[in-house]
A and B are shown apart, each in its own frame.
Chain A
Amino acid sequence: MDLQAPARQLPLTRTCPFDPPEEYRQLQAEEPISPLAFPDGVTGWLVTRYADVRALLADPRFSSRRRAGLNPVRRVPPELEDSLEAQPGMFIGMDPPDHTRYRRLLTGQFTVRRMNALTPRVAEIVADRLDEMAAAGPPVDLVRSFALPVPSLVICELLGVPYADRARFQQWSAAMLSLATGWKEMMAARDELRAYMLGLVRGKRELPADDLLSGLLCRPDDDALTDEELVNIGVLLLIAGHETTANMLALGTLTLLRHPGQLALLHADPALFDGAVEELLRYLSIVQFGIPRIATEDVELGGTPIRAGDRLIASVMAADRDPAQFTAADTLDVTRAYSPHLGFGHGVHQCLGQQLARVEMRTGLRALLERFPTLRLAVPLDRVRMRDDMFIYGVHELPVTWDS
Chain B
Amino acid sequence: MRVVVDHDRCQGAGLCALTAPEVFDQSEDDGTVLVLDPAPAAELHDAVRRAAGLCPNAVITVAD
Contact = CB atoms under 8 A, between A and B. Distances in A.
Contacts of A113: 17, 25-26, 28
Interface in B1-41: 11-14, 17-18, 21, 25-32
Given A110-B14, A111-B17, A355-B14, A350 B56 contact: yes
B61 interface: no
B38 to A, nearest CB: 19
Interface stretch (A61-69, A143-151, A216-224, A339-347): A339-347
B30 A108 contact: yes
Interface residues of B, number: 21
B31 A110 contact: yes
Interface string A38-78: 00000000000000000001100000000000000000000
Interface residues of A, number: 26
Given A58-B56, A108-B29, A111-B26, A350 B13 contact: yes
B14 A112 contact: yes
Interface string B27-64: 11111100000000000000000100110111000000
A383 interface: no
B57 A104 contact: no
Q: Is the interface of B mostly helix, strand, loop or mixed?
A: loop
A358 B32 CA distance: 19
A340 B30 contact: no
A58 B54 CA distance: 12
A104 B30 contact: yes
B34 to A, nearest CB: 10
Contact of B57 (A105, A112, A347, A358): A347
Max count, chain A CB within 10 A of own CB: residue among B17, B56, B57, B58: B56
A237 interface: no
Contacts of A100: 11
Contact of A58 (B17, B25, B58): B58
Contacts of B13: 107, 344, 350-351, 354
28 contacts: A58-B57, A58-B58, A100-B11, A104-B12, A104-B31, A105-B30, A107-B12, A107-B30, A108-B12, A108-B26, A108-B27, A108-B28, A108-B31, A110-B12, A111-B14, A111-B17, A111-B26, A111-B31, A113-B28, A340-B50, A345-B56, A347-B56, A348-B57, A350-B13, A354-B13, A354-B14, A355-B14, A355-B18
Interface of A: 57-58, 100, 103-113, 338, 340, 344-348, 350-351, 354-355, 358
Given A348-B57, A350-B56, 15 more contacts: A58-B58, A100-B11, A104-B30, A108-B29, A111-B14, A111-B17, A111-B27, A112-B14, A112-B17, A112-B21, A113-B25, A347-B57, A348-B11, A351-B13, A354-B13
Nearest 3 A/B pairs, CB to CB: A107-B31, A107-B12, A350-B56
